[in-house]
Structure 1
Amino acid sequence: MTNPTLNTPFKLPNGSTLANRIAKSAMSEALGTMDNRATPELVRLYERWGQGGTGLLVTGNVMIDRRALGEPGNVVIEDERDLDTLKAWAQAGQAQGAQVWVQLNHPGRQSPKGLNRENVAPSAVAFEKSMQAYFEQPRALSEEEIEDLIARFGQAAGICRKAGFAGVQIHGAHGYLVSQFLSPKTNQRDDQWGGSAENRRRFVLRVLQAMREATAPDFAIGIKLNSADFQRGGFTEEESLDVMSALADAGIDLIEISGGTYEAPAMTGVRESTRAREAYFLDFADKVRARIPSTPLMVTGGFRSHAGMTAALASGSLDLCGIARLLAIEPDVSQRLLDGHDPQERVRPIKTGIKPVDRMAIMEVTWYTRQLRRIGRGQAPKPRESGLKAFLCSLVDTASGMRQTRRLRASA
C-alpha cells in the first residue's frame, strides 16, 4: 500500500489487524499492589486509553518473577491468581477496538538497591561509579536459573493469552535483562550464553521460542529492542541489525526500535539531526527496513505533530508511530491525531534542578508515572506539575513501597 495514513489499518504477520497506525509504547505505571497484583486502577487507565483511539496499547513492564522487581508496584505474572483482574484489564482496553499487548520484563541488575533480596544478571558487572549508590552489583546467573527464566517468560505469555490480551512484547531494550544478555558490556560469560554475538542473542531467541510454544500462531509477539546502547564496549547498531534479522527469521510479529540504557539514556533526548524528522531512531529504522523489509516496524520517541507522523509513514521507514509521554498528559491525543490535528499538550523536559537526578533522566519515568496514577484514579493529569515536587513525592512513595515490599516478602 502506498502512502498509508495514520487512519490506515495494519495487518500483522499473526493475521490480526490493528485499527490504525498509532501505538502506545510502554510506560511504567507502578499501579500494582505492594504484593504485585493487578488492580482496578490499571483497568480504569486502559479503559480511558482504549476510548482514546489508539490502535495498539502496550502495557508498562510486567515482571515474570516476584523475586526480581524493577520498582515497587510492579505487576508480576507467574501464575493465574489474578486471572479475573487480568481479564478485566484486557477487556477494558480492547472494548473499543484497540489491541492490548502486555510488555513482559525482568530487570536483571537494573533494580533499585534494597528492593530485591539480590539482583541477578548474565554477569556480575556493576554499574558505573556515579550510579552505584542506586544499584547493587548483581550476581551472575547459573545456567539452570537462565533456563528457569526462559520458562517463566513463556508461562507469563501463556497466561496473558488466556486472559484475553491480544499479544505480548518482550522488553529487550533500555538495559533490562534481555538487553543485558545482548550487550558485551554486561554479558561477559564464556558459556553458550555469552562470548560471541550469536551466543549473546541465544537468550532472546529462546524466550521467543518459549512464548510461541506457550501460546498460539494467532497470538502476537513483539519486541522492544535497542538500536544501540550508546556506551563504549556495548551493543552496537551492527549487532542490533543482526539480532533483528534473527528475530525476523524466527517469526517475530513486530519490532519496536528504541535505544540507550539508564547509564546512557538516548531514549529520552532529542538530537539536532533528528528534529526535522521528529522520531529519534528513524534513520536506524531505514537500515532495518533495508535488512528485513517485510517485518513490521514501530518507532517510538520524538513524534510531536500530525505532519511528522504522517511524513514518517509516507517515507516507508516504519509501519507504526509510537507515542508514550503524550498519552500520559493527553489521554485522548490519538483521536486528535487521527482527526488531523496536532496535540493540545506538548512533551517538555522534566527537571528538578538537582544535577545528579537530572543527568540520569530519572524524571522521564517518575514524573509521568505520577500522571498515570492520576488517570488510574479517575482524575485528570497535571501537564505542568513541578518536576521537583514530583521527585520529592516519589522519594516518599518509593521508600514506603520498598519497605512494604520487603515486609511482605519477609512474611511470605
Structure 2
Amino acid sequence: MNSFSTSFASMDFGRGRVASNRLYFSSVGFDLCDSQGQPLPEFFEIYEALMDGGCGFGFLGNASVDPASQYTDKSLMLVSPSHAEHLRPVFASSETKGFLLAAQLQHYGVAQSTAIDHQAQQFAIKGDVTAVSEEQIENYICQFAQAAVLAQRIGANALQVHAANGYLLSSFLSPRTNRRRDRWGGTPLKRAEILFELLRRLRLQVGQEILIFVRLQIDDGLGEEGIQFHQLGEVSAGLKLAGADALTCATGVAETFSKFLGSPDHTLTVTRNAAHFLKSQSGLPVGFAANMDRLEMADRIIDSGDADFIGFGRALIADPYLVLKERNGMADAVVRCRWDSYCLRDKKEPSADRVYCCVNERFLRPAFIQKKYEELQ
C-alpha cells in the first residue's frame, strides 16, 4: 500500500504554524448562510467533515469583507463582530482538533462595470477598476484589515487573501481590467500595489504571529490581454516583502472557467509550471488545487518539487473523506466528483437553495434541478 510519505510529511509555514501534512481543502463557497451572511447549521457540519477528512489544513471560503459585496444572497460575510461571533465555533473546533484553518477574505469587486474608451467604441468590461477612486481603494483596504482583525479575535491563526478568479484584487492585477496610470496601475508591480498595501496593513493590524496566504491568479485564460504567470515574478517576491507567508495558485475567471475545467491536463500543466516559477522567484511555499482527486498525483507533484502542498476542492464536496480513505487503501470506496460543474450553476439557479452535489448523498441536488442541467448540456 502506498504510504504517500511525501504528502503526509508535516508542513512548517513559519510563525509557529505547522500543518500535520501537505494536503489541504481548497476554499469553496457553499452558500449555506442566511440572508445576513451568517452560517446555518449545515455550514458547520460540512466543515467538521472536512477537518476530519484527512487534510492537514484548509480554507474557510469566501468570507466577504464588504456588506455590499456578495456573490449570492446566501454567501458568507465577515463584516461585523456579530458575523465573527457566528463563526467562532468552527475556529474553536479547529483548535480542538489541532487543525490549521485559515479564514479566506474576499471582495467580489466593483458594483458595476466601468465604461472605457469613450472617444471610440463604447464598451464595458466586467470588474474594470480603472476609474475606482482613491477613497474607494482606501475603503477596500480598510475592509480587509477590519475583517482580518475580526477573524483573529475569534481564534483564526491564519488568513487567506483572495486575489484571484476575476474578483476585486485580481481585477487590479490584470492589464485587461486595470488601465490606470497612477500608483495603482501601469506595470505588473504597480497593478499589485493594492495587494502590497493591503498586506502591509494586515501585518500592522494583526501582528507577526498570524499566518497569511495569498490566493493568486496565475492565468485567467484571456491570453496576452489578461494575467499570465510569467508576469508575476517580481510581484510574488513583493508579496513576500509585504508580509505574505505562502501562495496558492488559481486559474480562470467567469468567462473562462469552462476552458480550464474542460481541459484538466492543460490546467494541471499550466498550474504546475506557475507554481514552480513562483517558488523560484518568491522563496515562498507554493501550492495549488487544479481539480485533482487522487493522492498519487498529489504525492508525485510534491515529490517533484513543483509545489510544496496540494489541495482538493470539489472532489471533497463529493467525498469529504477522500484523503483519509485513499491513505488507508480504500480508494474504491471514494465517491468521485463527476466534474460537470453543476455545483457552480447552483449559485445562479433561482430554484437552488444552496450549492448541491451530483453524487454526495448528504446534499444531493434535487432531481428536477439535476434534470434541468442535464438537458442543457
TM-score calculated relative to the size of structure 2: 0.85
* Alignment match of 1:316 (pick from 286, 305, 313): 305
| Contact residue 214 and residue 248 of structure 2 kept, 8 A | yes
**Counterpart AA for 1:268:** L
Q: How has the CA–CA distance of structure 1 residues 284 and 387 changed in structure 2, closer, same or farther, with 3 Å as cutoff? A: farther
1:6 CA displacement: 1.9
Runs of 4+ with >6 A deviation = 134-139, 364-368, 372-375, 383-387
| Contact residue 32 and residue 75 of structure 1 kept, 8 A | yes
| Contact residue 338 and residue 358 of structure 2 kept, 8 A | no
Q: How has the CA–CA distance of structure 1 residues 102 and 258 changed in structure 2, closer, same or farther, with 3 Å as cutoff? A: same
Structure 2 residue 362 is matched with structure 1 residue 380? yes
Please provide the CA RMSD for this pair: 3.3
Structure 1 portions without partners, runs of 5+: 110-118, 127-131, 353-360, 393-412
Q: What is the DSSP-based 3-state SS (H/G/I as helix, E as strand, rest coil) of the residue aligned with 2:140?
A: helix
Structure 2 residue 353 is matched with structure 1 residue 371? no
Structure 2 residue 211 is matched with structure 1 residue 211? no
**Counterpart AA for 1:283:** N
| Contact residue 127 and residue 171 of structure 2 kept, 8 A | no
Alignment of 1:47-196 (within 5 A): 47-109=48-110, 119-120=111-112, 124=115, 140-196=131-187
Q: How has the CA–CA distance of structure 1 residues 65 and 272 changed in structure 2, closer, same or farther, with 3 Å as cutoff? A: closer
| Contact residue 66 and residue 143 of structure 2 kept, 8 A | yes
1:380 CA displacement: 1.6
The worse-fitting range, judged by mean Cα deviation, of 11-20 and 173-182 is 11-20
Q: How has the CA–CA distance of structure 1 residues 202 and 374 changed in structure 2, closer, same or farther, with 3 Å as cutoff? A: same
C-alpha deviations, 1:329-361, integer Å up to 9, x for none? 101112123335537122223277xxxxxxxx9
* d(CA) in 2 for partners of 1:65, 1:38: 16
* Alignment match of 1:289 (pick from 254, 258, 279): 279
The worse-fitting range, judged by mean Cα deviation, of 364-373 and 220-229 is 364-373
| Contact residue 39 and residue 76 of structure 2 kept, 8 A | yes
Q: How has the CA–CA distance of structure 1 residues 81 and 224 changed in structure 2, closer, same or farther, with 3 Å as cutoff? A: same
Q: Which residue number in structure 2 is paired with residue 356 of structure 1?
A: none
Paired residue total: 360
| Contact residue 221 and residue 253 of structure 1 kept, 8 A | yes
**Counterpart AA for 1:77:** L
Q: How has the CA–CA distance of structure 1 residues 223 and 137 changed in structure 2, closer, same or farther, with 3 Å as cutoff? A: closer
* Alignment match of 1:270 (pick from 263, 277, 290): 263
Structure 2 residue 15 is matched with structure 1 residue 14? yes
* d(CA) in 1 for partners of 2:127, 2:215: 25
Percent identity of equivalent pairs:
23
Q: How has the CA–CA distance of structure 1 residues 206 and 15 changed in structure 2, closer, same or farther, with 3 Å as cutoff? A: same
Q: How has the CA–CA distance of structure 1 residues 96 and 57 changed in structure 2, closer, same or farther, with 3 Å as cutoff? A: same
The worse-fitting range, judged by mean Cα deviation, of 54-63 and 43-52 is 43-52
1:108 CA displacement: 0.8
* d(CA) in 2 for partners of 1:197, 1:330: 39
Q: Which residue number in structure 1 is paired with residue 120 of structure 2?
A: none
| Contact residue 45 and residue 372 of structure 1 kept, 8 A | no
Structure 2 portions without partners, runs of 5+: 118-123
